[in-house]
Amino acid sequence: MRFTNVLLLNAGLAVGAFGQSAPVLELGGQYQMLRVGSGNGLPSFIANGGTGSLQVNFLEQIAGVLEVGMVHNGDINGLQLNSNWLSYLVGPRVSLRNRSSKLIPALEYLVGGTTVFGSGTPPGTGILVSRNTTGFAMAVGGTLDIRLNHAVAFRPVQLDYFLTRVNNSFKQNNLRYGAGVIFTLGKQ
């Protein structure tokens, strides 16, 4: 009897997943601003760039996300230092999707890596120094999408605490903001 109830419950969940209002895929392109926390002798600074994302909705509220982004800053506190941050993150996103609402808030926890490409000429040396380093990255935060129609949504805000740890010792507490357009593909 218990086995039959569990089997019927699982079958009901599977049928419910096929009838979901969430699209199968969501492709996003957005502006990204990263406030890089101070550390390693450098002051805090702002870097700007973009992010591309792919979201696969497994259930109406649960999705897997892949994000790749790049930001750049060429002037840190008056010093001509080029700083480029490449991030690549994956993880779950849980949305509070409601069929009757155009607003779709979501929470996310993404982990992966970051590669920092830096170069500059230290004052008084005249020597160009270049360094690349790779490490751990984590983004915890959320998004808010506004559904414009069945195929397009506007994301006015993606806000994350963005932790980076490069060289296993250089830890930075950063803030990440994004805004952009989301294209939905598949059944809704």
C-alpha radius of gyration, the chain, whole number: 20
Residue 131: which pLDDT band, with cuts at 50, 70 and 90? confident
Phi and psi dihedrals of 100, rounded to 5? -90, -5
CATH code of the region 22-185: 2.40.160.20
Least confident among 24-28, 125-129, 154-158? 125-129
pLDDT tops 70 at residue 156: yes
Instruction: Show the beta-strand stretches assigned E in 37-150.
Output: 45-57, 62-73, 81-95, 103-120, 129-147
Closest CA to 137 of 119, 122, 151, 116: 116
Query: Domain residues of the chain, as ranges?
Result: 22-185
Task: Give the Cα separation of 97 and 77 in Å (integer).
Answer: 42
For residue 5, give both structure tokens: 């109830």
Closest CA to 188 of 145, 152, 142: 152
More confident residue, 186 or 148: 148
Q: What is the mean pLDDT of residues 126-154?
A: 88
For residue 148, give both structure tokens: 């414009």
Residue 127: which pLDDT band, with cuts at 50, 70 and 90? low
Contacts of 13 (CB under 8 A, 6+ apart): none
Q: What is the mean pLDDT of the chain?
A: 83
More confident residue, 3 or 173: 173
Closest CA to 57 of 89, 101, 104: 104
For residue 89, give both structure tokens: 């993150």
Q: For residue 5, what pLDDT is reported? A: 46
Helix, strand or coil, per DSSP, at residue 23: coil
Tens of pLDDT along 74-119?
777 666 777 888 999 999 999 998 777 899 999 999 999 999 887 7
Task: Give the Cα separation of 91 and 161 in Å (integer).
Answer: 15
